[in-house]
Structure 1
Amino acid sequence: MRRLLIGLAAGAVLAAATACGSSDSGGSGTASGGTTTVKVGVIPIVDVAPVYLGQKKGFYSKRGLKLSLTTAQGGAAIVPGVVSGQFQFGFSNVTSLMVAQSKNVPVKAVANGVASTGKDGADFGGIVVKKGSAIKSPKDLVGKKVAVNTVKNIGDTSVRESVRRDGGDATKVKFVELAFDQMPAALDGGQIDAAWVVEPSLATVKAAGGKVIASNYVDVAPDLTVAMYFASTQYTQRNPDVVKRFREATEESLAYADSHPDEVRDILTTYTKIPEATLQKMILPKWPAKPNRVSIATLAKLGERDGLFKEMPDLDKLLP
């Protein structure tokens, strides 16, 4: 989800796969004493809390898996890492995975990742403006500068849908690429007119008096599947049992996280630097065990409309 895949050349990824992932050496993880260690590329954000929580609760170990979690800034590092065999599994938003699949990058989603709450005005991400802004609704974003963490991805696609739904011309929104943690200051300083932010930046903006003018994930589809865990297609074909165990453990972790929000907030302190006051104010996402395919298909159609794909992604090949 954060800086996921944009700017990544499919040819470079495929070259990496040929150079580093064409054999089985290390491809199935490291086995020791009946336990298989798998390397998982993640991003140090709220979304991946379930795998950290599942690791702590023993959901992976009871299935003979030991997770070696490696953080990266985004999918620009995780996607080629998975394809080359550096990681056995990785985390990415679904738009990035669809872009990759449409370019014949050999990726396969294996487990659900994170979803919108489905509640307008109470989601873990949204379009925000600063206190006192003249912008009152998405249609007012026409001609304005709106920050997204990565252009031509799930951010601007979903923001455009909010603008369309409000009767505005979505083609005339000016998108600016900016890291999430830089958005609150840029918004306050007037460098941008609005921003699409996710937690914890959302809580930071609201604490400064900012206002949420739209829940863009909710505007795309009810209960939108935002991100998933994935592997290379080669790995899934050669290691179906490991993939099955990873999927089952992840689904149990997702369900547990979804019903234990206090433990989620606690586990976040182990791999993020979110201040305690912000932790308690954040809106947590939903973590359903299964992806919402209808919502992903809707996101694919919007991506096609926005020119993200040269060819429409094949969801039958991409999704579990």
Structure 2
Amino acid sequence: MKRSLALVTAAMTAALLTSCSSGSPSSDAPAGGATDNGAQSEAAGDGELRSIKVGVIPIVDTAPIYLGDAKGFFEEEGLDLEIVETSGGAAAVPGVVSGSFDVAFGNTVSVMVAADQGLPLKYLTNGLATTGEDPDVGAVLAPGDSDIESAGDLAGKTVAVNNLNNIGDTTIRTIVEADGGDPSTIEFVEIAFPDMPAAIERGQVDAAWVLDPFKTGAMDAGAKLVANNFAEFDPELDIAGYFTTMETFEEDKELVDAFTAAMTKSLEYAAENPEEVRDIVGTYTKMPEEARAAMTLPRYRADFNREAMQKLGEAAVKYGSLDKAPDLDALLP
């Protein structure tokens, strides 16, 4: 029996938009205030910790940093971590460039586009990758009674994505063309992820690219799977990671090395402890336990797959999001 779409959407919207104002899910974690890059703050204990401000979206994708903070991995590396909520790559990139954040979480095409526009950015670690199979963390969905059955059927249709010229429409165009459709005939429109389930049900769009937890909610409400665009693009595709400015990377080795070590440990721990991932998500969002149990978790890993990243960059050039292929030697660790 279908769930009430209003209830599903309300729960999922709360999951995305609600997070701890301090950014730390641990009640005994150091409070830590915002400081200029290079400043230090005292923490409970014998030594002093280096303050670091990291901008993230409070969703399942970023669970490892919250988990690592709760486990003390950042403190072990001498860092007093402050997690600051952002709305996504559009806010994360200027936040890092302006110095509001030391590091931020952003999807790979957003960072490629910023670099293409002359903003020198550098990834420190990966953040998450596609599962490479069905179910995946993101998928293209259509109404249950739609005649859209596969990626090629999206040609000539209206498809919702959260941002234009980004990882969503780039991967969708690629899999549509691979399935025999003409990607140039797709009309992409911007709709926020929380609003996509309702847009599908009302027929506002023919299909929508939806991420978990909204994907699971929409399918529970009757939407059907058309394609797993990440997994079908490349089963090793990396989706987003943690980046800083090239200036910070080159001039603040202490901070870079400490964050990289702590974040790597956090990603490895999350990969090995999926139930703790589900639990920690409940500490910085209001996602109910039932939804957390049902959601699809991504693969968490610190290293990037360069072949898949190169393929993504070439696709972004082909479909007009980038002027030239990204310099992966400059962009990746």
**Structure 2: distance between partners of 1:221 and 1:127:** 15
Unmatched tracts of structure 1, length 5 or more: 1-24
AA partner of residue 102 (structure 1): D
Task: Give the whole-Å Cα distance in 1 for the aligned partners of 2:109 and 2:246.
Answer: 18
Q: CA deviation at 1:29?
A: 4.5
CA distance in 2, matches of 1:257, 1:194: 32
Which of 28, 32, 42 is the matching residue for 2:38?
28
1:164 aligned to which of 157, 172, 177: 177
Equivalence for 1:21: none
AA matched with 1:30:
Q
Distance 1:176 1:168, change over 3 A: same
TM-score by length of 1: 0.90
Kindly provide the amino acid, as one letter, of the partner of residue 114 in structure 1: L
Q: In 1, distance between residues paired with 2:51 and 2:272?
A: 27
In the other structure, the counterpart of 1:192 is 205
Q: Does 1:205 align with 2:206?
A: no
Aligned partners of 2:98 and 2:37: how far apart in 1? 9
Mean CA deviation greater in 27-36 or 180-189 = 27-36
Aligned to 1:179: 192
Q: Is the 8 A contact 1:110 1:243 kept in 2?
A: yes
Aligned positions of 1:235-250 closer than 5 A: 235-250=248-263
Q: Secondary structure at the match of 1:222?
A: coil
Which residue of structure 2 aligns with residue 10 of structure 1?
Answer: none
TM-score of the superposed pair, with normalisation by structure 2: 0.86
Which residue, out of 114, 119, 135, partners 1:105? Answer: 119
Letter in 2 for 1:117: T
1:260 aligned partner: 273
Which ranges in structure 2 are unaligned for 5 or more consecutive residues? 1-34
Aligned partners of 2:160 and 2:196 also within 8 Å: yes
| Whole-angstrom distance in 2 between the partners of 1:268 and 1:317 | 33
Alpha-carbon offset, residue 83 of structure 1: 1.0
2:283 aligned with 1:270: yes
Residue 126 (structure 1) aligns with: 139
> Pick from 278, 285, 299: which aligns with 2:312?
299
Q: CA deviation at 1:88?
A: 0.4
Q: 1:71 corresponds to which letter in structure 2?
A: E
Contact persistence 1:110–1:319 (CA under 8 A)? yes
1:47 pairs with 2:61? yes
The answer to whether 1:283 aligns with 2:296 is yes
Counterpart-to-counterpart distance in 2, 1:270 and 1:97: 28
Number of residue pairs aligned between Structure 1 and Structure 2: 295
Q: Deviations over 1:264-305 (max 9, x none)?
A: 111111222223222111110000121111111110000000
User: Are 1:88 and 2:96 counterparts?
Assistant: no
Identity across the alignment (%): 44
SS at match of 1:269: helix
The letter of the residue matching 1:44 is P
AA of the residue aligned to 2:307: V
Provide the secondary structure at the position in 1 that maps to 2:83.
strand
Question: Aligned letter for 1:274?
Answer: M
Q: What whole-Å deviation, never above 9, does each CA across 1:23-66 have from its counterpart, x for those lacking one?
A: xx922353434311100000111100000000001111111111
Paired with 2:326 and 2:176, the residues of 1 have a C-alpha distance of: 25
Structure 1 window deviating more from structure 2 (162-171 vs 294-303): it is 162-171
Equivalents in 1 of 2:326, 2:116: separation in Å?
5
